Amino acid sequence: MVDAKDSLVLDTGTLTAEQVNLVMKHLPVDLTFVDEADEVRYYSATKDRIFARAPGVVGKRVQNCHPSQSLHVVNKILDEFKAGSKDVAEFWIKLGAQFVYIRYFAVRDGEGKYRGTLEVSQEVSGIRALEGERRLLDW
């Protein structure tokens, strides 16, 4: 039984901090959250993380975490999200044998105010190769 004082009450359920951390570590995607002040607040530590992150990145400005040649793109995304003119930016790249799908989402509160950006990266080679259907469990 979970003690109520240790619970995080969410819109659709209640989890402990440990459960939230476990869920984030087991998602088949990499997550990074940047707050409204452009500071990195969180990244998921999945076992097969595509883009390496170090604990020291938390609290740094996101602009300091990208190569200079892509800084204008990072700033364009953030500017458009903050202005409310865009909500999603998508990219896909080949990294050796991997095909990586990268999505950025504007995070807004209930009143539509910009609260940050969520980066979601996923290796999708296996998804791209799917054909037909699998309707039965086949381990």
Write the pLDDT tens digit of every residue in 3-48: 667 899 999 999 999 999 999 999 999 999 999 999 999 999 988 8
pTM here is 0.90
Cβ atoms of 29 and 123 closer than 8 Å: no
pLDDT in tens, 86-136: 999 999 999 999 999 999 999 999 999 999 999 999 999 999 999 999 999
For the chain, the structural domain boundaries read 27-128
Which tokens is 106 given? 């504007």
pLDDT of residue 34: 98
Predicted pLDDT at 139: 86
CA 9 remoteness from chain centre = 21
CA–CA separation, 22 and 16 (whole Å) = 10
pLDDT of residue 1: 54
Check residue 59 and give its pLDDT. Answer: 95
**pLDDT, tens digit, 9 for 90 and up, residues 61-88:** 999 888 899 999 999 999 999 999 999 9
Domain 27-128, CATH 3.30.450.20 — does that match?
Answer: yes
pLDDT value of residue 48: 86
